[in-house]
Amino acid sequence: MRMRRLALVGAAALLLAGCGGSDESGSDSGSAASSSSESGSELSQKEASEIVDASFTALEESGAAHVVGSIEENGSMQELDLQLQGDDVSGSITMDGVAVQLISVGGQAYVQAPGDFWSSFGMPAEFAGQLEGQWVLMPPEAAESFSTLTLSGLVQELRSAGGDSVKGEVTTDELDGEKVVVVTQDDGSTFTARDDDAEPFPLLIEDKGDAPATVEFSGFGEQTSIAAPPNPVDLTTLGG
């Protein structure tokens, strides 16, 4: 069984890239609105690209974060709910209603998915049925694909999508009672970060482009227990 095109990895990459913003649609204004000056924070006085860059840096340096997001493209809905900390990850990715659970820890990756998921890769029905609801240890070549599903990989993906070259209007606001800085692009896409000079963590990204997407961040620096599942099925025992 060849796992070179593991769909859930592609879904995550697409989701994260889709929410990076674009330097093509934003305005040239990097100045803050009058509400920004009232906050008095240095962050709110920066240009849009500087705010986003500082926010991505803070996210990466936090060491851990909980990321929840969704993207709709060509009639297909993809969602993710991931705990990222260091090189480890746990959570789920849902593609058109099919939920795939995943754990990547210590350089090894494990997936739990419905039988139809495995059948979609050409696995014979008899083997796919055996994997229904089972945690599966992925082959080394497939596990390498999870290397982008890390906190640093997420930040790199967002930056490469143009996220740190965003242009737009900078204002201040409140989100769930917390002071925030908001960058708004011409197409209505927004990047919301904590209005904190020391820890300007990203809180919410909303992309209003051709593939509408939303990503929420929380739990910065909060470590949870990520461990390998007990008694995973080794694909090589199925002749993979």
Alpha carbons 57 and 60: distance in angstroms, whole number: 5
Q: Is 46 exposed, middle or buried (0-12, 13-18, 19+ CB in 10 A)?
A: buried
Go through 123-158 and write b for each residue having 16 or more CB atoms within 10 A of its CB, e for each that does not: beeebbebbeebbbbbbeebbebbeebbbbbbbebb
pLDDT grade for 148, boundaries at 50, 70 and 90: confident
Q: Name which residue leads in pLDDT, 82 or 126.
A: 82
Q: Do residues 172 and 182 lie in contact, with contact meaning Cβ atoms separated by under 8 Å?
A: yes
Q: Name which residue leads in pLDDT, 231 or 4.
A: 231
pLDDT grade for 133, boundaries at 50, 70 and 90: confident
Minimal CA–CA distance to 12: which of 96, 55, 71?
Answer: 71
| pLDDT given for residue 97 in this prediction | 83
Minimal CA–CA distance to 101: which of 83, 122, 119?
Answer: 83
Highest mean pLDDT among 4-18, 26-40, 115-129, 188-202 belongs to 188-202
The pTM for the full model equals 0.82
Q: What is the pLDDT of residues 84-110, one digit of tens each?
A: 999 999 999 888 788 889 999 988 889
| pLDDT given for residue 12 in this prediction | 56
Domain range annotation of the chain: 7-238
Q: In the predicted model, is pLDDT for residue 16 greater than 80?
A: no
Return the beta strands (E) in 186-225 as ranges. Answer: 190-194, 202-207, 213-218
Say what the alpha-carbon torsion angle 194, 196, 201, 203 is, to the nearest 10 degrees: 0
CATH of region 7-238, choose from 1.10.10.10, 3.20.20.80, 2.50.20.20, 2.60.40.10: 2.50.20.20
Say what the alpha-carbon torsion angle 121, 126, 131, 136 is, to the nearest 10 degrees: -60
Average pLDDT for 136-144: 79
Q: In the predicted model, is pLDDT for residue 22 greater than 70?
A: no
Q: What is the pLDDT of residues 36-83, one digit of tens each?
A: 445 468 999 999 999 999 999 999 999 999 999 888 877 888 888 999
Q: What is the pLDDT of residues 106-125, one digit of tens each?
A: 888 899 988 888 887 777 88
Mean pLDDT of the chain: 80
Q: Name which residue leads in pLDDT, 55 or 4.
A: 55
Q: Do residues 111 and 100 lie in contact, with contact meaning Cβ atoms separated by under 8 Å?
A: yes
Which amino acid is residue 188, in one-letter code? G
Half-sphere exposure of 195 (CA within 13 A, CB side): 25
Minimal CA–CA distance to 137: which of 47, 226, 238?
Answer: 238
Alpha carbons 58 and 77: distance in angstroms, whole number: 29
Alpha carbons 116 and 128: distance in angstroms, whole number: 7
